[in-house]
A = this chain, B = another copy of it.
Amino acid sequence: MSGQRDLKAYLKAQAQRVDVSLDRLLPGDEAGGLILQAMRYSLFAGGKRLRPILCLAAAEAVGGEAERVMFCACALEMIHTYSLVHDDLPAMDDDDYRRGVPTNHKVFGEGMAVLAGDGLLTQAMVVLTTHAHVASIEPWRVLYATQAIMRAAGYEGMVGGQAADLLAERQEPDLATVQLIHAKKTGALITASVQAGALLAGGNEEQVRTLVRYGRRVGLAFQIADDLLNLTGDAAQLGKATGSDEQRGKMTYPAVLGPVQARQTGEQLVREAMDLAAGLGQGAWPLVELARYIMERTH
């Protein structure tokens, strides 16, 4: 259908715009040395730019301009990338490949990979607090959006989720733990992405609240889809070995619900998210189509 076709073109165009801005906000520089190389290596290792695109789309969904929140979109990708670099470390998930290329620590060594992650996280903060005046966004909106993003990234969000995930390996999977881990690990930053985009673009309270509800559903559905792909998808699509979660005894939705009910849950979440986005009007069409696409790619 045409929505799908439009979405693919939209995703591609937006990802290219994000890449151009990322290159501007963390420019390659001889004097930057190995640490900057390591940071850029993972930042430009072929991410889909989902979080930035959600942020830009949320800005447009509330009637704002995507370009004005581009700095925030890029900061979100830096935060996402930092979390991948640290999660891949031998002391954590111990992954040698990510998106089909060697992980940061395989190329630069463990110490440098820890620092590359730290560098990306701090650069995200620099970007968030530096570029708002260019877009003449009210400072209180910047503070509020930054706070939401950092709560999502911190021990109440991603950091806490990864810690719970580490502790849960080899434990008996149960639904409550899976939900908690995924809500924190993936859901929190995805939700903050649409929340921050809407806030910075001048969205009102009602619009922001709707997008937070959208984000929670999309974040959860996205994780369920990822779990299903890990179970059944092909390695080329995934960029790493399939079945790796299962081998490791990772807590996943398919593991606690079975693949059929996991898929049903994902599809229900997607329907709710599409309704919420549609309620925001025509400008929210990419958010509607993005939600639809999440579960479709698992078919």
Residues of A within 8 A of B (CB): 32-36, 39, 86, 89, 91-92, 109-115, 117-119, 121-123, 125-126, 129-130, 132, 138-140, 142-144, 146-147, 150-151, 153-155, 159-160, 162-164, 166-167
| Closest chain B residue, CB of each to CB of A140 | B139
Tell me if B89 and A155 are in contact (CB < 8 A).
no
Nearest-neighbour CB distance to chain B for A161, whole angstroms, equals: 10
* CB neighbours of A111 from chain B (8 A): 89, 91-92, 166
* CB neighbours of A150 from chain B (8 A): 122, 125-126, 129
Specify the main secondary structure of chain A where it touches its partner.
helix
Tell me if A163 and B129 are in contact (CB < 8 A).
no
Cβ-defined partner of A154 (8 Å) among B126, B151, B163 = B126
Cβ-defined partner of A159 (8 Å) among B122, B130, B139, B164 = B122
Q: How far is the CA of A138 from the CA of B138 in the complex (A)?
A: 12
* CB neighbours of A125 from chain B (8 A): 125, 146, 150, 153-154
Q: How far is the CA of A142 from the CA of B34 in the complex (A)?
A: 31
Tell me if A33 and B160 are in contact (CB < 8 A).
yes
Tell me if B163 and A35 are in contact (CB < 8 A).
yes
Tell me if A33 and B164 are in contact (CB < 8 A).
yes
The 5 closest A-B pairs by CB, nearest first: A139-B139, A91-B110, A122-B154, A35-B163, A119-B155
Tell me if A114 and B143 are in contact (CB < 8 A).
no
Given contacts A92-B114, A114-B86, A163-B33, contact A155 B123 (CB under 8 A): yes
* CB neighbours of A163 from chain B (8 A): 33-35, 112, 115, 119
| Closest chain B residue, CB of each to CB of A114 | B86
- A sample of 9 cross-chain residue pairs with beta-carbon separation below 8 angstroms, ordered by A number, consists of A89-B111, A91-B109, A91-B110, A114-B114, A122-B150, A125-B125, A125-B153, A142-B143, A143-B143
Q: How far is the CA of A33 from the CA of B36 in the complex (A)?
A: 34
Q: How far is the CA of A140 from the CA of B137 in the complex (A)?
A: 11
Q: How far is the CA of A24 from the CA of B113 in the complex (A)?
A: 32
| Closest chain B residue, CB of each to CB of A151 | B126
Tell me if B35 and A118 are in contact (CB < 8 A).
no
Tell me if B154 and A119 are in contact (CB < 8 A).
yes
| Closest chain B residue, CB of each to CB of A32 | B155
Nearest-neighbour CB distance to chain B for A181, whole angstroms, equals: 12
Tell me if A91 and B119 are in contact (CB < 8 A).
no
Q: How far is the CA of A109 from the CA of B169 in the complex (A)?
A: 15
Nearest-neighbour CB distance to chain B for A47, whole angstroms, equals: 19
Nearest-neighbour CB distance to chain B for A137, whole angstroms, equals: 10
Cβ-defined partner of A118 (8 Å) among B109, B140, B159 = B159
Given A32-B160, A91-B110, A117-B118, 10 other A-B residues pairs in contact with their CB atoms under 8 A? A33-B164, A39-B155, A86-B118, A118-B118, A118-B159, A119-B160, A119-B163, A125-B154, A139-B139, A142-B143
